[in-house]
Structure 1
Amino acid sequence: MSGSFIWYELLTSDAQAAEAFYTHVVGWGAEDSPNSPVKYKLLTVNKVPVAGLMSAKDAKVEGVPPMWSGYIAVDNVDAYLDRVKKAGGNIHTEPMDIPEVGRFAVAADPFGAPFQLFKPFKDSRGDYPATFTPGTIGWHELLSIDAEKAFAFYSGLFGWTKGEAMDMGPAGTYQIFNVDGQMYGGMMTSTNASDVKLWRFYFIVDDIDTAVERIKEKGGQVTTEPMEVPGDAWIIEGRDPQGAYFALTRPRK
C-alpha cells in the first residue's frame, strides 16, 4: 500500500453537477461522507468508496481550477514534509486529520503537479473492488515540464522504478513506471503551453464507445478520440462540464 495512490479526489466548482456527470459516465454510486468536516461526496463501486468530490467553495480554496488529484499512501505524513521539500517539492497545507479516516497534507512536485500525502488510520481497505472492475482506477499518468526530473522526485520519495520507455516519435518518450514491480502508470514531458501539467487518472468503464456517448449526453468534452494502447485496451481523454481533465480506459467490445 505504501507508495501507491490510495484515493482520488475531484475539486470542482459545482459539486452537484459533477456528481451527476461522473455517476452517469463512469457508473459510480454517490453518498455523503459521514466523517468529513465539510460537505464531501463519496463515489462508490458496489457501495465501496473509491474516490471523492467536493466543491472548492466548501474546501475554502476558491480560485483553484477544477481538477483531479490523488492521495499517495505513506507511513508517516509529518515525516514526509521535509523529504518533499528537500526533493524540490512544496507543501501547500500542514497535516490534518480526517476523523476515523486518516491524516493528510497537500503537496506538489517541483513542477507544480499537486498530490496528497496520506496515512490511513486503518491498515485494511476491506472489500475493495477487484482490479479492472468498472469504476476503479486503471492507470496513473503525469504530464510534466520535465518527466525525467519528475520521475526522480517521485522515485526518491516512494521507491517507484522505471519500466519500459516507449518512443512516441515527435511527442517524445513515454516512460512507464512500476510500483512494487507492477506497471502502474506513465510520465511524459510536454513543452506545449496549452497542456495542463497535472496527474491524470484513468477510470475503468464498461465500454469505451458507450462512455463517449455518455460524456456527450452530460455536456462533457472528448478531447482525444478512442485510441488503442498496448495491452489490448482503449483510452479516451476528456474534460468534464466544469473543466476538469479526466481519462477513461477499457478493452473495446
Structure 2
Amino acid sequence: MGGFVWHELTTADPDGAAAFYGRLLGWEAETFPSSAPPYLVLKAAGVGVAGLCAAKAPQPAGWIGYLHVADVEEACRRAEAAGGTAVAPAEEMEGIGRMQLMRDPDGVPFVLMTPAPREAPPRPPEGTTGLSVWDEHYGADVERSFAFYAGLAGWTKDSAMDMGEMGTYQMVAAGGRAIAGLMRAPEAMGPRWLAYFNVPSVTGAMEEAERLGGRPFFGPQEVPGAMWIAQILDPQGHPFGIVGPKG
C-alpha cells in the first residue's frame, strides 16, 4: 500500500496512442468489457499495467497515477486539510475499487484509489518491458510535497541527492521499497507527476520513439543503480519517462 497501483493515459487520439506505446513498450491493448467509450487495458507479459481512453472532463489529458490508499474518503479529507482539492466525487467500480480524482497543493492531478480487493493488483516480474517502475513529482517545494503525500499514503523518506542549483532530489519509500522521487519543478516542465516505464535499451527506445512520431527532450542520463533514463513527448504531446540499460 502507498504506491501507485495504476497509470492511465487520456488523450485525443486513443488509437494513435495505443499504436505508439504498443510499438515502443511492447504493450498489448485489450478493451475492458462493456466500457463506453472504450477503455483499453495495456498489458505487459499478459498483465494489465496501464489504461488508455479518450480525454474526458474533468480529468486533464495526459498520464495520471492512481495512489493506493486504505480509505478514499479519509484520504480525501486529509488531502483537503493539507491544501489539496477534490476535483470530482468519489466513484465505485464493481470489482475494480473506489476512486477519486484530486489535485495536490501544486495543482498536479492524481487519483486516490482503494482497490477491490484491497490488495494491490498483480504486477509482472520486475524488469518486464513496459512495467511502470518509478514516478517523479515536480513541484514548488519538496518538503511540502513530501508532507502532503506522506499524510495520505504513509510515505517515508529514503535517500536524497543534492542537485546543486536544482535543489534536493528526495526519494520516498512505501512498503519498504523506494517508489518515487520528489524535486523542484524546472521551468520547462512545470508541476506534474511523470511516470517511468522499463525498456531494454534507453537509446534504442529514444530512436524508436522519434521514428514513431514522439520527441525525446531529456537524456539519456545515468542514474544510481547503473541505469539510464530519458524523457519523451508522445505524438500527442504527453510526457513520460523510460528507464533501463543505456544501449
TM-score normalised by length of structure 2: 0.94
Matched with 2:193 is 199
Label 1:167 to 1:35 Cα distance change in 2 as closer, same or farther (>3 A).
Answer: farther
Matched with 1:32 is 31
Q: Which runs of 4+ in 1 moved over 6 A?
A: none
Label 1:196 to 1:160 Cα distance change in 2 as closer, same or farther (>3 A).
Answer: same
Q: Equivalent residue of 2:128, what SS?
A: coil
Pairing 1:145–2:144 present: no
Equivalent residue for 1:173, pick from 168, 173, 176: 168
Q: Equivalent residue of 1:83, what SS?
A: helix
Identity of aligned residues (%): 38
Q: Equivalent residue of 1:97, what SS?
A: strand
Pairing 1:229–2:223 present: yes
- Distance in 2, Cα, partners of 1:9 & 1:106: 12
Q: Which amino acid aligns with 1:154?
A: Y
Label 1:35 to 1:160 Cα distance change in 2 as closer, same or farther (>3 A).
Answer: farther
- Cα distance, 1:225 vs. partner? 2.5
Label 1:60 to 1:195 Cα distance change in 2 as closer, same or farther (>3 A).
Answer: closer
Matched with 2:96 is 101
Q: Equivalent residue of 1:117, what SS?
A: strand
RMSD: 1.7
Alignment: residue pair count: 247
- Cα distance, 1:252 vs. partner? 2.6
Equivalent residue for 2:124, pick from 129, 134, 146: 129
Q: What is the correspondence of 1:144-163 to structure 2 with a 5 Å cutoff? A: 144-163=139-158
Matched with 1:46 is 45
Tell me if structure 2 keeps the 8 A contact 1:27–1:205: no
Q: Which amino acid aligns with 2:232?
A: G
- Distance in 1, Cα, partners of 2:193 & 2:34: 26
- Distance in 1, Cα, partners of 2:82 & 2:181: 20
Pairing 1:247–2:244 present: no
Tell me if structure 2 keeps the 8 A contact 1:42–1:50: yes
- Distance in 1, Cα, partners of 2:199 & 2:51: 17
- Cα distance, 1:155 vs. partner? 1.0
Pairing 1:22–2:16 present: no
Tell me if structure 2 keeps the 8 A contact 1:141–1:199: yes
- Distance in 1, Cα, partners of 2:123 & 2:147: 30
Q: Equivalent residue of 1:17, what SS?
A: helix
Q: Which amino acid aligns with 2:234?
A: D
Q: Which amino acid aligns with 1:73?
A: H
- Distance in 2, Cα, partners of 1:125 & 1:35: 23
Tell me if structure 2 keeps the 8 A contact 1:48–1:129: yes
Residue-by-residue CA offset, 1:98-154 (whole Å, 9 max, x unaligned): 232111010111111111011111245665301221111111100111121111101
- Distance in 2, Cα, partners of 1:127 & 1:158: 19
- Cα distance, 1:46 vs. partner? 2.0
Could you list the runs of 5+ residues in structure 1 that have no partner in the other structure? none
Q: Equivalent residue of 2:129, what SS?
A: coil
Tell me if structure 1 keeps the 8 A contact 2:69–2:152: no
Pairing 1:112–2:107 present: yes
